């Protein structure tokens, strides 16, 4: 196989920087919404029939002290001779020798010496999927490379051979044995193993089986990151086995896929900040692997170059990503030479973003007070709002939902991933009530309906966005968001109209550390730390705090897959045919901080008021066509 080392140092750096987030989220198996997503089933191709490994291969697990394996007598592989994406976690290798498996951020489990490959001890789709990618074997291979100890190669060889015997195509022991995505990742593990272990017929045959499977038109996914990883795996197998027809097929598929998956602004169609980063990483990997294999990357892959700008705007002042769509709480990745490097390093290095207000037609708007020019980078505030097409892929029913970071803390939060199991927790995660929106009691929200962007503008003192949703049948809902660049507060005006009386609930999801208190129609905090003061400027609706409720689910946050912890949610109910909220969400740093609202005037078309936060005052005026913010001396 032709190899080039160009770009491997960069990828090695990215592997180190993003290891924690990648291990927990890299192998998500979320399917597009629909009948096929219910059980994760994959239709096997009837005509892919390459031979399986010989039954004469040894069946029992080797002794961990054995030195009889051919790999054991091989010299250690120099690090530069192995692709960076083949590097696993050697710190987990010794535990694997004792049959203790730690997959991603899931708890450690103990499995049989000779796995049955139908295990799912945590009853987690994510764990079971990750198990069948065999990516944990990379830790054994890496430990063997670094130590030269054959016991790691022996165990890696046994696990690979054992999986191949027990899971022939069409007769796997798990629904994820030959899942479209697990097959792609496992193929990459086999390619990595072939670059480390001595040449063997069983491994070449396993690669041929996986290559034939990936090349089959009916097995190819055609959309999303699953298709992307299928293509890279097919390319790598073709490169390894000298199959130019597979490399050419992978190249042609990539050229079509990238145009479908990444828009001209460099935004993926997967509706998730994490999957923006994920797709950037793996499209970049595809470019490098094409080059490594002597194949010219198609010109369509140039769209990948625009992806870091989105990630920069999605990075909060604390250097973490906004949790939009299937995104956990994780540090932003520094992408050298880009705006994403600037955002992830707090402005120390990288290219400074050109704007503080970014509107992406894929349905994301990001605004912020600045990039560390007039104040410390970490003291800036940032906000977001979602709009656009309905839920798909790794998105949520979050049209119109806002988030806010200010005063050095996540104040309005998106609750995260929860799980990929088909259960109440997943329905909550992707559903309407998990976001900072207005819901309607006893009504079903149509998540496929788009949220229209009616207006978006920015100025020296404020951002303004207006969106409209008709996801609830018979209910017309508009939301106006006004953001103060100087003081970091949001003003959110919600208007709902319905032909019949409804009960609505305005929801505000706070971080797990928040300690909200109710004072009439306002929300404060019992903690002397940064928090959001939530004040109703119109109406007399009394807020309610919900935390850790399970029936129905409300008041939780999830920081990574299969994790959840109680976090307070503020519910503000209102009833009628015409409902209107005008809400101020003001960041304050201590319980002693003063937020004073005065001169409130509400008209049919708009509103105005004065707000002072710790002595700094502004006048907010909203008409039927625009909003302004002016400083008040």
pLDDT tens digits, one per residue of 87-132 = 988 999 999 999 999 998 899 999 999 999 999 999 999 999 999 9
Higher pLDDT residue, 541 or 371?
Answer: 371
Confidence of residue 591 (pLDDT cuts 50, 70, 90): low
Q: Is the separation of the CB atoms in 468 and 478 below 8 Å?
A: yes
First to last CA, the chain: 71
pLDDT of residue 210: 98
The answer on pLDDT for 140 being more than 90 is yes
pLDDT of residue 592: 67
The answer on pLDDT for 51 being more than 70 is no
Measured distance CA(200)–CA(164) in Å, rounded: 14
The answer on pLDDT for 295 being more than 80 is yes
Instruction: Give the number of other Cβ atoms within 10 Å of residue 612's Cβ.
Output: 16
Measured distance CA(323)–CA(404) in Å, rounded: 11
| Phi, psi values for residue 117, rounded to 5° | 70, 15
Measured distance CA(376)–CA(373) in Å, rounded: 7
pLDDT of residue 539: 79
Confidence of residue 497 (pLDDT cuts 50, 70, 90): very high
| Phi, psi values for residue 101, rounded to 5° | -110, 125
Mean pLDDT over the full length of the chain: 87
pLDDT of residue 82: 55
Measured distance CA(153)–CA(64) in Å, rounded: 10
pLDDT of residue 291: 96
DSSP-assigned letters across all residues of 205-233:
HHHHHHHHHHH-TTT---SHHHHHHHHHH
**12-16, 102-106, 452-456: range with lowest mean pLDDT:** 12-16
The answer on pLDDT for 387 being more than 80 is yes
pLDDT of residue 29: 34
Per-residue pLDDT, averaged over 518-527, amounts to 89
Per-residue pLDDT, averaged over 585-601, amounts to 88
Task: Dihedral sign for Cα 242, 243, 248, 251, please.
Answer: negative
Confidence of residue 540 (pLDDT cuts 50, 70, 90): confident
pLDDT of residue 615: 84
Rg (CA), the chain: 26
The count of residues in the chain is: 633
Alpha helices per DSSP H over 319-443? 339-344, 424-430
pLDDT tens per residue across span 151-190:
999 999 999 999 999 999 999 999 999 999 999 999 999 9
């Amino acid at each position: 196989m032709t190899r080039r080392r160009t770009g491997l140092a960069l990828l090695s750096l990215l592997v180190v920087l993003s290891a924690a987030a990648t291990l927990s989220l890299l192998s998500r198996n979320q399917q597009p919404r629909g009948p096929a997503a219910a059980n994760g089933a994959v239709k096997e191709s009837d005509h892919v029939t390459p031979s399986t490994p010989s039954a004469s291969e040894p069946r029992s697990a080797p002794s961990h002290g054995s030195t009889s394996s051919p790999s054991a007598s091989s010299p250690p592989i120099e690090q530069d001779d192995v692709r960076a994406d083949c590097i696993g976690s050697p710190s987990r290798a010794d535990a694997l020798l004792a049959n203790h498996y730690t997959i991603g951020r899931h708890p450690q489990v103990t499995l049989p010496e000779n796995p049955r490959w139908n295990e799912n001890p945590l009853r987690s789709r994510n764990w079971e999927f990750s198990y069948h990618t065999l990516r944990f074997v990379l830790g054994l291979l890496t430990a063997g490379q670094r130590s030269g100890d054959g016991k790691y190669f022996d165990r890696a060889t046994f696990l690979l051979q054992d999986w191949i015997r027990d899971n022939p195509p069409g007769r796997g022991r798990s629904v994820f044995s030959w899942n479209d995505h697990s097959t792609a990742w496992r193929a990459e593990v086999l390619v990595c193993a072939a670059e480390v272990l001595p040449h063997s017929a069983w491994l070449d045959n396993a690669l041929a089986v996986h290559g034939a499977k990936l090349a089959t038109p009916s097995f190819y996914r055609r959309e999303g990151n699953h298709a992307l990883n299928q293509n890279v795996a097919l390319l790598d197998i073709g490169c390894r086995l000298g199959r130019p027809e597979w490399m050419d097929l992978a190249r042609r598929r990539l050229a079509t896929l990238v145009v479908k998956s990444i828009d001209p602004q460099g935004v993926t169609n997967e509706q998730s900040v994490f999957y923006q980063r994920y797709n950037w990483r793996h499209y970049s990997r595809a470019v490098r692997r094409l080059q490594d294999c002597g194949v010219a990357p198609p010109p369509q892959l140039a769209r990948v170059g625009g992806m870091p700008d989105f990630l920069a705007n999605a990075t909060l002042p604390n250097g973490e990503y906004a949790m939009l769509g299937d995104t956990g709480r994780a540090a932003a990745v520094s992408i050298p030479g880009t705006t994403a490097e600037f955002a992830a390093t707090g402005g120390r290095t990288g290219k400074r973003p050109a704007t503080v207000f970014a509107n992406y037609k894929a349905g994301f708007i990001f605004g912020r007070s600045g990039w560390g020019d007039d104040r410390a980078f970490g003291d800036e505030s940032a906000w977001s709002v979602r709009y656009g097409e309905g839920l798909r892929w790794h998105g949520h029913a979050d049209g119109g939902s806002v988030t806010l970071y200010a005063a050095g803390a996540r104040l309005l939060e998106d609750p995260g991933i929860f799980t990929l199991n088909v259960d109440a927790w997943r329905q909550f995660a992707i559903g309407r009530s998990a976001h900072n929106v207005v819901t309607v009691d006893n009504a079903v929200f149509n998540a496929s309906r788009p949220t229209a962007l009616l207006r978006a503008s920015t100025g020296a003192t404020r951002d303004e966005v207006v969106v409209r949703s008709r996801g609830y049948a018979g209910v017309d809902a508009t939301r106006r968001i006004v953001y103060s660049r100087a003081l970091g507060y949001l003003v959110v005006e919600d208007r709902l109209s319905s032909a019949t009386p409804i009960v609505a609930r305005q929801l505000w999801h706070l971080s797990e550390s928040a300690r909200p208190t109710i004072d009439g129609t306002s929300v404060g905090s019992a903690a002397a730390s940064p928090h959001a003061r939530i004040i109703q400027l119109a109406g007399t609706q009394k807020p309610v705090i919900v935390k850790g409720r399970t029936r129905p689910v409300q008041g939780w946050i999830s920081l990574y897959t299969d994790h959840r912890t109680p976090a307070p949610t503020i519910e503000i109910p209102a009833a009628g045919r015409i409902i209107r909220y005008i809400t101020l969400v003001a960041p304050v740093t201590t319980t002693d901080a003063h937020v004073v609202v005065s001169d409130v005037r509400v008209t049919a078309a708009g509103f105005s008021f004065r707000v002072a936060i710790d002595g700094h005052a502004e006048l907010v005026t909203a008409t039927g066509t625009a909003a302004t913010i002016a400083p008040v001396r």
